[in-house]
Amino acid sequence: MKVPFNDLYALHAGIKDELNDTLSKVIETNAFIEGRFLEAFERNFAAKLGVRHCIGVGSGTAAIWIALKMAGVKDADEVILPANTYVACVEAIKMTGAKPVYADNDAYFNLDPVELEMKISSKTKAVLPVHMYGQPAQMDEISKICHSHDLIMIEDCAQSHFSKFKGQYTGTFGNAATFSFYPGKNIGAMGDAGCIVTNDDTLARKIRLFRNHGFEQKNVYEIEGFNSRMDGIQAAILNLKLKYVDRWNEKRRTLAKMYLDLLSSCTSISLPEVRDLESHVFHLFVIKAEYRDELRNFLTAKGIGTGIHYVQSLPEIALYNPGGDVKKEFPNSVKNSAYLLSLPIYPDMTAAQLNYVVSSIVDFYKERN
């Protein structure tokens, strides 16, 4: 049996006619840049999330950079981010000229509020919580800290589309939030795309101007800008997929519950700590595994795709190393990176495929131990 890490072929086969129809409509109307498909997607995404504004941009990485920059982050500022996250976060902070400051993660693989508070200095301007693997960070504590220190908060929701913290959607807590629609995300484009959401009218207008060379009216340049627009084809595809994302997230949750149940007696792995099953969207199902690399090779040989998110935490990457003793300063993130393994999870995964992954893991440890 084959179990890919993710199966976009199956996902797109399930909505093939609607996809073809959608693409034809974009081609027939020439609405490639701006226009009705982008407007419709921005309106529908904002409405589903319950926010005033959604602004489509070129990628999730650009979204973080633009949100931070337009919120006022600049040279000599510090921005606190989790040590355990994707490289895009540190890249985007560095693009603003600010200094990235890492905080270690909690037991849920997310920014630890206690660590966050310890990293605040007189130069701290903003905080970038990331809802890792689809599970919300502790937004009550993090919001309180940002509020009491008067810090900008930009949430990175690249992995958490429509997850909720205590009943409230991630992406609705901070000054703004960013999303990635990389093809493999819970709702993905057919290329690069991202967006920024916010309830702040002034910030929304600045972001809208910036992503389009600083103008709203042709040849009237209001601010220095850039070109980072979500194109019409991606917007139309995302608008179609928006109808399905709740169903797909529900399927991911069902599969995650099966993994949690079937793997509970396997003592050589640690299952992910889940705060609230019903509000996690399981972009990734990440375990900690003894003999991780051997297990990964064993699963590959059995036709099972896996991933590692991430091979190194950000402070361990030479380019982004903050100096000092990273093992001591970020013990959770550094320790985890040797054990993390992401198992296949995607809406079209069958129970038989999941059972095959589980029995293969059990077989590996039977042979190895």
Ligand X SMILES: Cc1ncc(COP(=O)(O)O)c(C=O)c1O
Site residues (CB under 6 A) for ligand X?
A: 59-61, 85-86, 88-89, 130, 156, 158-159, 180, 182, 192, 194
Report, in Å, the least distance between residue 143 CB and ligand X: 19
Least Å from the CB of residue 192 to ligand X? 6
Q: Does residue 20 come out as left (phi exceeding 0), alpha (psi in the -120 to 50 range) or beta?
A: alpha
* Element spanning 101, H or E: strand 99-103
60 or 347: CB nearest ligand X: 60
CB of 130 to ligand X, least distance (A): 5
CA distance 160 to 138: 13
HSE, CB side, 13 Å, CA atoms: give it for residue 305.
11
Residue nearer to ligand X on the CB measure, 7 or 192: 192
Strands 176-180 and 152-156: parallel
* Residue 191, φ and ψ in degrees, nearest 5: 160, -160
Q: How far is the CB of 332 from ligand X (least distance, A)?
A: 17
Residue type, position 344, single letter? P
Instruction: Using the minimum distance from each CB to ligand X, give the nearer residue, 188 or 263.
Output: 188
For residue 56, what is the enclosing H or E element?
A: strand 53-57
Structure tokens at 280: 């996690």
3-state class of 168 per DSSP?
strand
Q: What is the C-alpha to C-alpha distance for residues 179 and 172, in angstroms, rounded to an integer?
A: 12
Choice between 56 and 364, CB closer to ligand X: 56
Pairing relationship of beta strands 269-270 and 285-289 according to DSSP bridges: antiparallel
| DSSP 3-state of 36 | helix
Closest CB to ligand X belongs to which residue? Answer: 60
CA–CA dist 185, 61 (Å, integer)? 14
What is d(CA 197, CA 175) in angstroms, rounded to the nearest whole number? 9
Smallest distance from ligand X to CB 185, Å: 7
Q: Which is nearer to ligand X, 258 or 317 (CB)?
A: 317
Q: Which is nearer to ligand X, 86 or 346 (CB)?
A: 86
Nearer to ligand X, 337 or 360 (CB): 337
Query: Nearest approach, Cβ of 148 to ligand X (angstroms)?
Result: 26
How far is C-alpha 108 from the chain's CA centre? 15
Minimum CB–partner distance for residue 9 and ligand X (Å) = 20
Smallest separation (angstroms) from ligand X to the CB of 156: 5
If the CB atoms of residues 130 and 236 are measured against ligand X, the closer one turns out to be 130
Residue 69: what residue type? Answer: K
The residue among 235 and 361 lying less far from ligand X, judged by its C-beta, is: 235
- For the bound state, the minimum distance from the C-beta of residue 368 to ligand X, rounded and expressed in Å, comes to 31
Q: From 117, 63, 120, 72, select the one nearest 92 (Cα to Cα).
A: 63
Nearest to 157 by CA among 96, 256, 78, 89: 89
Token pair recorded at residue 151: 């810090």
